[in-house]
Structure 1
Amino acid sequence: MISKIKEIYNYREMIVSLIKRELRGKYKASVLGFLWTFLNPLFQMIVYTIVFSYILRSGIEHFSIFLFVGLIPWNFFGISVASGSACVVNQENLIKKIYFPRLVLPISYVTSMFINMLLTFIVIFVALFITRYGINPVALLFLPLVMIIEYVLALGICMLVSALTVYFRDLEYILGILNMAWMYLTPILYTIDMVPKEFRILLNFNPMTPVILAYQQILYYKKIPQIETLMQAGILGSIILFIGIIVFEKVQKNFVEEL
């Protein structure tokens, strides 16, 4: 494992190059370009707020803030899983031409999406300032930790699904469908207290539940996140990353033949 980490570190310049290319190419052909980084989640928030505040009333106070603090982290995770599943397949030519540790591909893709999320968080803080909702500076100190935990979780799943997609191409499309269902099974549009007690246990099997709860505790409830929530999220993220690395390393040997 240590030798693998050293090898990946030796290819850090390649990772940086792939990250830059991903960020530059994301909205390259569009008129508004990088502005879509901020406009996409903003439009999502507007639509969901209208639907759940005026049509299907959720009854959650300051619903737009509640929604936004969960939606932006979810967008990062959802893209890392659904679109990230093709990050190896999309680099077919590169894989066939030169040798490099294949783990570089999911690492660079998830990292680029993570940077995109960090930029999008500017919109959250602007919204908190404009609405005078306020923040808790002490609770805010825990935000980087929660972000790192989510990054680890997203990276682990991306490693897993991107490796399997090489052998089962339909997985990319299946994940697109599952991703939508996964979002509704995560307390983003509703509070966990709104879920009947007999069904709450199902949310505990969702690795994104403690992550989203931590974001909500920090930015919406303006409280220091519960240690139990952080530990649950951290342990789940670490386990999934470990599994992702093992699976990726085992199946990556035949990438060239399969591609």
Structure 2
Amino acid sequence: MSVYVQNFLKFRPLLKELVTRDIKTKYRRSILGVLWTLLNPLLMMLVLSVVFSHIFKFQVENYPLYILSGQVVFNFFSESTSSAMSSIIQNAPLIKKVYIPKYLFTLSRVASSIVNVMASFCALIVVMIFSDVELNFTVLLLIVPMAILIVLSTGVGLLLATIAVKFRDIIHLYGVLITALTYLTPVIYPISILSPKIRFFVELNPLTGILNMFRNLMLYNTLPTLGQLLISSVIAVGTFLFGLFVFYKSQDKFILNI
């Protein structure tokens, strides 16, 4: 285990450079640049709030904040896993030329998404301030569900990156899966309106537990229960270890397929 830690520390400067490159590439030739990461969730919040609050009449207090908090969690998962999925394929020329631990390319995509989600979180704070919503000490504990989310996203990203090397169709299929996952995650609707059968499937979604913890801490000043923490943590760590195992077992064959 110490060998892997030392290897990671050795290539840590490279990971920093990869993250910087990914962020610059994403916002290249963009007038607004990183500011767009702040504006995008705000604009989506306005559109979704108008559509769903007036058409479906959801009885949710501070519904715009409800949506925005859901977007912070779900958009990070969607962006980090989608970009991580193509990390090996897009860096094929570099992988063929020199030895670099291949997991660094996947980690850099997740890390660059962390930078983006910080901007989205700032947007959430701004909206809360202008909405006169009280910021409590529980906001400081948001690092817990976000850490669980990062671990889960990294595991899924490693797994998707491995699959995408051999089966490129997963890149197109994943867009459909993310769309389906959007409706299986209570981002725009309260889970209380669902029928028991549908609610069962929504609660099976690991993002639901993480999102509920995030919202309860951010909006309702409610601490998660020990059971919620354990279930979400076990799923996230289990997914990460499984994704890392599959990635490690397959990485030597990447060169044959990229």
Q: Distance in 2 between matches of 1:204 and 1:38?
A: 29
Deviations 1:134-179 (A, max 9, x none): 1221x22321111111100000000000111000001011001110
Name whichever of 51-60 and 154-163 sits farther off.
Answer: 51-60
1:168 paired with 2:143, answer: no
Give structure 1 stretches of 5+ with no counterpart: none
Alignment-derived partner of residue 42 in structure 1: 42
Alignment-derived partner of residue 149 in structure 2: 150
Alignment-derived partner of residue 131 in structure 2: 131
Q: Distance in 2 between matches of 1:181 and 1:57?
A: 23
AA partner of residue 188 (structure 2): L
Give structure 2 stretches of 5+ with no counterpart: none
Q: Distance in 1 between matches of 2:37 and 2:199?
A: 33
**How far did residue 249 of structure 1 move?**
0.6
Name whichever of 80-89 and 210-219 sits farther off.
Answer: 80-89
Alignment-derived partner of residue 195 in structure 1: 194
Q: Distance in 1 between matches of 2:34 and 2:65?
A: 23
Alignment-derived partner of residue 254 in structure 1: 253
Alignment-derived partner of residue 208 in structure 1: 207
Secondary structure of 1:89's counterpart equals helix
Q: Distance in 1 between matches of 2:178 and 2:199?
A: 20
Alignment-derived partner of residue 55 in structure 2: 55
Q: Is the 8 A contact 1:19 1:112 kept in 2?
A: yes
AA partner of residue 194 (structure 1): I
- TM-score for the superposition, normalised by structure 1: 0.96
Across the aligned residues of Structure 1 and Structure 2, the Cα RMSD in angstroms comes to 1.3
Q: Is the 8 A contact 1:213 1:229 kept in 2?
A: no
Deviations 1:202-242 (A, max 9, x none): 12321111110111111122211222222211111000000
Q: Distance in 1 between matches of 2:119 and 2:22?
A: 15
AA partner of residue 9 (structure 1): L
Q: Is the 8 A contact 2:83 2:109 kept in 1?
A: no
Alignment-derived partner of residue 12 in structure 1: 12
**How far did residue 181 of structure 1 move?**
0.8
Secondary structure of 1:189's counterpart equals coil
Q: Is the 8 A contact 1:211 1:233 kept in 2?
A: yes
Q: Is the 8 A contact 1:22 1:109 kept in 2?
A: yes
- TM-score for the superposition, normalised by structure 2: 0.96
Q: Is the 8 A contact 2:22 2:109 kept in 1?
A: yes
Name whichever of 120-129 and 188-197 sits farther off.
Answer: 188-197
AA partner of residue 244 (structure 1): G
Q: Is the 8 A contact 1:51 1:57 kept in 2?
A: no
1:85 paired with 2:85, answer: yes
Q: Distance in 2 between matches of 1:97 and 1:116?
A: 30
Deviations 1:64-117 (A, max 9, x none): 011111111111100112232111111111111110111111111101101210
Name whichever of 244-253 and 228-237 sits farther off.
Answer: 228-237
AA partner of residue 139 (structure 2): L
AA partner of residue 156 (structure 2): I
AA partner of residue 93 (structure 2): N
Q: Distance in 2 between matches of 1:85 and 1:249?
A: 15
Name whichever of 107-116 and 194-203 sits farther off.
Answer: 194-203
Q: Distance in 1 between matches of 2:230 and 2:194?
A: 22
Q: Distance in 1 between matches of 2:132 and 2:88?
A: 44
Q: Is the 8 A contact 1:81 1:175 kept in 2?
A: no
Name whichever of 199-208 and 23-32 sits farther off.
Answer: 199-208
Give the number of equivalent residue pairs.
258
Q: Is the 8 A contact 2:84 2:107 kept in 1?
A: no
Q: Is the 8 A contact 2:84 2:109 kept in 1?
A: yes
Q: Is the 8 A contact 1:87 1:106 kept in 2?
A: yes
1:116 paired with 2:116, answer: yes
Q: Distance in 1 between matches of 2:119 and 2:6?
A: 29
